[in-house]
């Protein structure tokens, strides 16, 4: 059987082809799965999508009309998929429920360090042979307070690194993680965490209940010299409210690997186009803000696990099995 994979990067393609070698052929496309590209999938029973795919009801109906019966998404998040419509159409949908939490946790710390120690500004200067230190002063994280919103696998990995820095640990989650408690984390309510933390990092899924978890009111509760990092989902932050606070001169720094309106922008080259998103255009102009393109997961270890799980999802579908990765089971 030939499987069609959308949104495959140049780094990912050889790994994906190798993983399916000997069992199935895989056709890899760089284009993302959306309404305009869905017709390409006609005749393919199994389709693999990337995290930024548009799997709305309309796209799912187009896929089903072309003969697609199974979608396996190469990501943990699935808020882009209309699961109710998939059930109605009788389509099987799977995801990757787990991959290396260290990839995202370590990248979140890379963002925190980059904004704290002004690394982007420093490297830009030295490329121009400007070696002055003015404006590059950061702070020790040791002895300061970190607030971790979401203490699952990734949040716990982030917390272990914070513990290594010698930080005071605050956490917020619906369930307390024993591993974090052992490290000395104190669980508090969200308002207290926001008001007390020097560094705040987001590690919660994007749900209706967590959309704009960091809204205008939450941002106002944060310290003026706080650092905010988001390597989870862009919709957790009200970006327009964040820009307003930044314009007012607040926050020591902000590191964002995700953006709530990133669909159709991230993972693409827009360097020769006019930027139509005024909020994003303003956001990247602040000297103490670092924006990266949803790359926290992008390590050989994590991508390898994502691909291995995708292979297993296909095997489960063909065998009529379900697993922890199954979002909509086969009929």
Of these residues, 12, 85, 245, 262, which one is catalytic? 262
> Cα–Cα distance between 104 and 231 in angstroms, integer?
7
Q: Which two tokens stand for residue 199?
A: 């560094």
Q: What is the pLDDT of residue 311?
A: 97
**Residue 294 annotated among the catalytic residues of the structure:** yes
Q: 307-316: per-residue pLDDT in tens?
A: 999 999 999 9
> Cα–Cα distance between 325 and 322 in angstroms, integer?
8
Give yes or no for a contact between 217 and 188, defined as CB atoms under 8 angstroms apart. Answer: no
**Residue 288 annotated among the catalytic residues of the structure:** no
Taking the chain (331 residues) in consecutive chunks of 10 residues, what is each chunk's mean pLDDT? 96 96 96 96 97 94 97 92 96 95 97 97 95 96 98 98 98 98 98 98 95 98 98 96 97 97 85 89 95 95 96 96 94 75
> Cα–Cα distance between 47 and 41 in angstroms, integer?
7
Of these residues, 294, 322, 324, 331, which one is catalytic? 294
Per residue, what are the HEC states of the chain? CEEEECCCCCCHHHHHHHHHCCCCEEEECCCCCCCCCHHHHCCCCEEEECCCCCECHHHHHHHHHCCCCEEEECCCCCCCECHHHHHHHCCEEECCCCCCHHHHHHHHHHHHHHHHCCHHHHHHHHHCCCCCCCCCCCCCCCCCEEEEECCCHHHHHHHHHHHHHCCEEEEECCCCCHHHHHCCCEECCHHHHHHHCCEEEECCCCCCCCCCCECHHHHHHCCCCCEEEECCCHHHECHHHHHHHHHCCCCCEEEECCCCCCCCCCCCCCCCCCCCCHHHHHHCCCCCEEECCCCCCCCHHHHHHHHHHHHHHHHHHHHCCCCCCEEECCC
> Cα–Cα distance between 26 and 141 in angstroms, integer?
46
Q: 106-161: per-residue pLDDT in tens?
A: 999 999 999 999 999 999 999 999 999 999 999 999 999 999 999 999 999 999 99
> Cα–Cα distance between 294 and 51 in angstroms, integer?
10
Q: Is 211 buried (19+), middle (13-18) or exposed (0-12) by CB count in 10 A?
A: middle
Of these residues, 233, 252, 260, 322, which one is catalytic? 233
Q: Which residues contact 87 (CB under 8 A, 6 or more apart)?
A: 328
Give yes or no for a contact between 315 and 327, defined as CB atoms under 8 angstroms apart. Answer: no
Give the closest residue to 295 by CA, choosing from 72, 1, 98, 12.
12
Q: Which two tokens stand for residue 118?
A: 């002004």
- Name the one residue in this structure whose structure tokens are 């389509």: 91
Give the closest residue to 105 by CA, choosing from 324, 303, 299.
299
Q: What is the pLDDT of residue 275?
A: 84
**Residue 12 annotated among the catalytic residues of the structure:** no
């Amino acid at each position: 059987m030939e499987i069609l994979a959308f949104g495959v990067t140049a780094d990912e393609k050889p790994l994906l082809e190798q993983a399916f070698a000997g069992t199935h052929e895989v056709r890899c496309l760089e284009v993302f799965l959306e309404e305009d590209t869905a017709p390409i999938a006609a005749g393919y029973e199994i389709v693999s999508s990337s995290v930024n795919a548009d799997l709305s009801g309309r796209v799912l109906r187009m896929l089903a009309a072309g003969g697609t019966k199974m979608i396996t998404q190469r990501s943990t998040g699935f808020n882009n998929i209309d699961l109710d419509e998939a059930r109605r159409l009788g389509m099987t949908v799977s995801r990757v429920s787990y991959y290396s939490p260290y990839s995202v946790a370590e990248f979140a710390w890379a963002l925190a360090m980059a904004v704290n120690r002004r690394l982007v500004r420093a490297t830009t200067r030295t490329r121009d042979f400007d070696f002055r230190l003015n404006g590059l002063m950061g702070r020790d994280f040791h002895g300061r307070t970190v607030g971790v919103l979401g203490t699952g696998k990734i949040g716990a990995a982030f917390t272990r690194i914070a513990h290594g820095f010698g930080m005071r640990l605050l956490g917020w989650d619906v369930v307390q993680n024993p591993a974090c408690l052992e490290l000395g984390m104190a669980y508090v309510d969200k308002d207290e965490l926001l008001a007390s933390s020097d560094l705040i990092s987001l590690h919660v899924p994007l749900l209706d209940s967590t959309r704009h978890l960091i809204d205008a009111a939450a941002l106002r509760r944060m310290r003026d010299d706080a650092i905010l990092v988001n390597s989870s989902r862009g919709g957790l932050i009200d970006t327009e409210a964040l820009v307003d606070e930044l314009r007012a001169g607040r926050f020591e720094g902000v590191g964002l690997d995700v953006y709530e309106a990133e669909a159709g922008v991230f993972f693409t080259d827009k360097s020769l186009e006019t930027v139509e998103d005024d909020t994003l255009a303003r956001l990247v102009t602040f000297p103490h803000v670092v924006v990266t393109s949803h790359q926290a997961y992008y390590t050989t270890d994590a991508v390898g696990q994502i691909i291995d799980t995708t292979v297993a999802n296909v095997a489960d579908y063909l065998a009529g099995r379900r697993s922890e990765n199954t979002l909509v089971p086969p009929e």
